[in-house]
């Protein structure tokens, strides 16, 4: 029974959902956790071999002690077959209130948020509520760009400009930016694409801002509530939430620079989809476990998620749908995502061939988190490189800003 609803209301809602029509640019079908997936049960893994923990525990412990622990402020977890092998929690979530970090303390994981955004979109695709190869204007009819599909947003091949380069002349530092306002500014100033769609890779947060908007348009629900309904609640990720800017206060874990100075919230901290997921190492482990289930995500959609799309340039780095990748010949593929926003840094890595999950999150700026892949070689034949790209196909900031400034000048020209 639905709390607060009369039987008549329930029947009316069911009738509306059954016979509701779809018009161009709008979807009238509503969505709930029940319509996307049935009650979820985590997949059953083989028990962790008795020899595994004593064999690997010392190596993991030495890694943490020698490479992470000193001056570390955050959480660290390694799991095998969904079972925690090693975890540590250290430091403060909030210096002012002396709030210590423990297994239930949600920390901002920056771009690791993209994994959840991609999963929400892929669950909608599983339910035929979004089509990955459909033009995004089918869902966001007001956007000026043509020829860009949902898939191109997911794999960063759209060419759409980065909203973080908006100058204060068009959006002041004192005013909180929103996802919808980003679309309006792109349109108002006719910001040009960096390159024709699907011709190359360039990591850009705007892609995932638009994905969150698409999910909202389809479901008529705000993205933080939708992520809770489709991901956090079914997986019992009870310590996870997406901040839309309304929680920007001392009620949540704060961010600090490398000298332990508080990082203030900025005008970009109300934007979500690309960031603003607050979660824990244990909740990310639950998410990782769920990705092995064909109930939570279909086998067909996972084949789309866990493959590379950008091979124009030789190299080991690639990007799937919401996951970064390291591919190196005959070695096992490493799937992961890093995060960096203000003083928050982190990495979630999934060694899928060996069902290993590694998570490290810090709310005090440190590059240590990007070296967690050193552990991957302990468990299998995985590529060994720092998990941060210095030579991604980013458009150079100077060039991107110059193009944006030129578009603004054209708009403001008498």
33-65 tens-digit pLDDT: 444 444 578 898 988 888 888 889 999 999 999
Is a pLDDT exceeding 90 seen at residue 383? no
The fourth-level CATH superfamily of domain 25-412 is DD-peptidase/beta-lactamase superfamily (3.40.710.10)
pLDDT at res. 24: 36
Average confidence (pLDDT) over 307-313: 94
Specify the pLDDT at position 39: 54
Mean pLDDT is lowest, of 5-19, 59-73, 238-252, 327-341, for 5-19
Per-residue pLDDT at 392 exceeds 50: yes
How many other CB atoms sit within 10 Å of the CB of residue 82? 18
Q: What are phi and psi of 307, to 5 degrees?
A: -150, 155
Q: What percent of the chain has pLDDT over 70?
A: 88
What are the strands of the beta sheet with 277-279, ordered from one edge?
107-108, 277-279, 241-242
* Residue 364 pLDDT level (bands cut at 50, 70, 90): very high
What is the model's pLDDT at position 41? Answer: 82
Task: Provide the pLDDT for residue 414.
Answer: 78
pLDDT tens digits, 187-243 = 999 999 999 999 999 999 999 999 999 999 999 999 999 999 999 999 999 999 999
Confidence of residue 387 (pLDDT cuts 50, 70, 90): low
Give 125: exposed, middle or buried? Use CB within 10 Å, 0-12, 13-18, 19+.
buried
Q: What is the C-alpha separation between 229 and 220, in angstroms, rounded? A: 13
Across 359-387, average pLDDT = 90
Q: What share of the chain is helix, strand, coil (3-state, %, to 5)?
A: 35, 15, 50
Mean pLDDT of 391-400: 73
Q: Which helix (H) or strand (E) covers residue 93, if one does?
A: strand 92-94
Distance CA 45, CA 13 (A): 39
pLDDT band at 2 (very low <50, low <70, confident <90, very high): very low
* pLDDT over 70 at 71, yes or no: yes
Check residue 393 and give its pLDDT. Answer: 55
For 277, the token pair is 């997921």
Which CA distances in Å does 270 have to 72, 161, 176, 248, 340?
27, 18, 6, 8, 16
* pLDDT the model gives residue 17: 40
* DSSP letters spanning 332-343: PPEEEEEEEETT
Instruction: Quote the pLDDT of residue 204.
Output: 96
Q: Give Dmax (Cα) for the chain.
A: 75
**Would you say residue 266 has pLDDT above 50?**
yes
Per-residue pLDDT band at 382 (split at 50, 70, 90) = very high
pLDDT band at 386 (very low <50, low <70, confident <90, very high): low
What is the pLDDT, as a whole number, of residue 80? 96
List the domain boundaries for the chain: 25-412
What value does the mean pLDDT take over residues 230-259?
A: 94
In whole angstroms, what is the distance from residue 43 CA to residue 287 CA? Answer: 12
Could you tell me how many residues make up the chain?
Answer: 414
48: its two tokens = 């962790």
CB distance 399 to 165 below 8 Å:
no
Rounded distance between C-alpha atoms, residue 361 and residue 348, angstroms: 8
Burial 30-54 (b: 16+ CB within 10 A, else e): ebebeebbeebeebeeeebeeeeee
Please tell me the least confidently modeled range out of 21-35, 72-86, 233-247. Answer: 21-35
Spatial contact of 203 and 157, defined as CB atoms under 8 Å apart: no
302 within 8 A of 310, measured Cβ to Cβ: no
Other CB atoms within 10 A of residue 26 CB: 12
Is the per-residue pLDDT at 348 higher than 70? yes
Residue 239 burial (CB count, 10 A): 18
Comparing 104-108, 147-151, 344-348, 399-403, the range with the smallest average pLDDT is 399-403
């Amino acid at each position: 029974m639905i709390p607060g609803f009369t039987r008549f209301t329930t029947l009316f809602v069911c009738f509306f959902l059954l016979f509701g029509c779809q018009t161009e640019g709008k979807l009238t079908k509503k969505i709930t956790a029940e319509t996307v997936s049935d009650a979820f049960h985590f997949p059953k893994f083989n028990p962790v071999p008795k020899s595994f923990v004593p064999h690997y525990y010392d190596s993991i412990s030495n890694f943490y002690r020698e490479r992470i622990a000193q001056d570390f402020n955050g959480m660290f977890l390694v799991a095998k077959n969904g079972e925690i092998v090693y975890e540590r929690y250290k430091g403060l979530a909030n210096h002012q209130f002396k709030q210590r970090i423990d297994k239930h303390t949600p920390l901002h994981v920056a771009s690791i948020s993209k994994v959840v955004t991609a999963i929400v979109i892929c669950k909608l695709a599983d339910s035929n509520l979004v089509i990955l190869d459909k033009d995004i204007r089918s869902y966001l009819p007001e956007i000026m760009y043509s020829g860009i599909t949902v898939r191109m947003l997911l794999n960063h091949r759209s060419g759409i400009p980065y909203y973080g380069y908006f100058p204060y002349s068009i959006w002041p530092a004192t005013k909180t930016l929103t996802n919808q306002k980003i679309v309006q500014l792109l349109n108002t100033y006719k910001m040009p694409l960096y390159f024709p769609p699907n011709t190359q890779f360039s990591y850009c947060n705007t892609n995932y801002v638009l994905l969150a908007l698409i999910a909202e348009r389809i479901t008529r629900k705000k993205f933080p509530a939708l992520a809770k309904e489709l991901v956090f609640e079914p997986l019992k990720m009870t310590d996870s939430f997406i901040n839309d800017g309304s929680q920007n206060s001392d009620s949540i874990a704060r961010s600090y620079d490398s000298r332990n100075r508080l990082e203030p919230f900025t005008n970009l901290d109300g934007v979500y989809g690309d960031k603003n997921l607050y979660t824990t190492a244990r909740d990310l482990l639950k998410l990782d476990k769920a990705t092995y289930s064909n109930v939570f995500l279909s086998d067909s959609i996972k084949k789309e998620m866990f493959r590379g799309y950008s091979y124009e340039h030789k190299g080991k780095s690639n990007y799937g749908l919401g996951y970064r990748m390291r591919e190196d010949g005959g070695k096992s593929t490493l799937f992961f995502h890093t995060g960096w926003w203000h003083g928050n840094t982190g990495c979630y890595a999934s060694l899928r061939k060996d069902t290993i999950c590694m998570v490290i999150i810090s709310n005090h700026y440190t590059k240590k988190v990007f070296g967690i892949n050193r552990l991957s070689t302990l468990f299998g034949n995985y590529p060994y490189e720092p998990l941060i790209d210095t030579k991604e196909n980013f458009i150079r900031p100077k060039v991107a800003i110059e193009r944006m400034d030129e578009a603004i000048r054209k708009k403001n020209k008498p």
